[in-house]
Amino acid sequence: MHPVRRQRLLAVVFIVVAASVAAALLAYALRQNMNLFYTPSQVAGGEAPAGTRIRVGGMVVEGSLERASEDLKASFLLTDGAARVPVTYAGILPDLFAEGEAAVATGELGPEGRFIASQVLAKHDENYTPPEVADAMEKAMGKARESSQ
């Protein structure tokens, strides 16, 4: 093989290997930061992985919010109309957080099926529902209507 041709081939091989390593490292780094969205029906159905950071969204069930008197712990239920998921959060809830309103919690599913939230997000005005929550509630309501017929 001609020396110039061999040098070009080695350069191309080096670039391909370097690009592959960079892509693998990027994919590994992004995998750790993914927050997959699950509905309460999916969580109750066992589709959500335990011990993995995920998001769960739905409406806060009326009368389900309980606040601890000695610290900032709060617990409530999220529903999509078909299933309910108990959520525990230790921190200050957003000002717009309320029962009967949409919320999205980020955290991990605990061993007893209770969701331990590290962050809770609430709607930002009276007309907004997060798109994932709206889609999930529409699907759950459709399934509930089909099963009742």
Q: Please give the Cα distance from 92 to 84 (Å, whole number).
A: 22
**Interval 54-81: pLDDT, tens:** 899 888 999 999 998 888 899 999 988 8
Tell me the pLDDT of the chain averaged across its residues: 84
Separation CA 119–CA 89 (nearest Å): 8
CATH superfamily name and code, 36-148 = Nucleic acid-binding proteins (2.40.50.140)
Average confidence (pLDDT) over 13-20: 95
Domain ranges of the chain: 1-33, 36-148
The helix (H) or strand (E) run that includes residue 34 is none
Secondary structure letter of residue 113 according to DSSP: S
pTM of the model: 0.65
Distance of alpha carbon 110 from alpha carbon 2, whole angstroms: 63
Residue at token pair 């061999």 = 6
pLDDT, one tens digit per residue, over 18-40 is 999 999 998 888 776 666 888 88
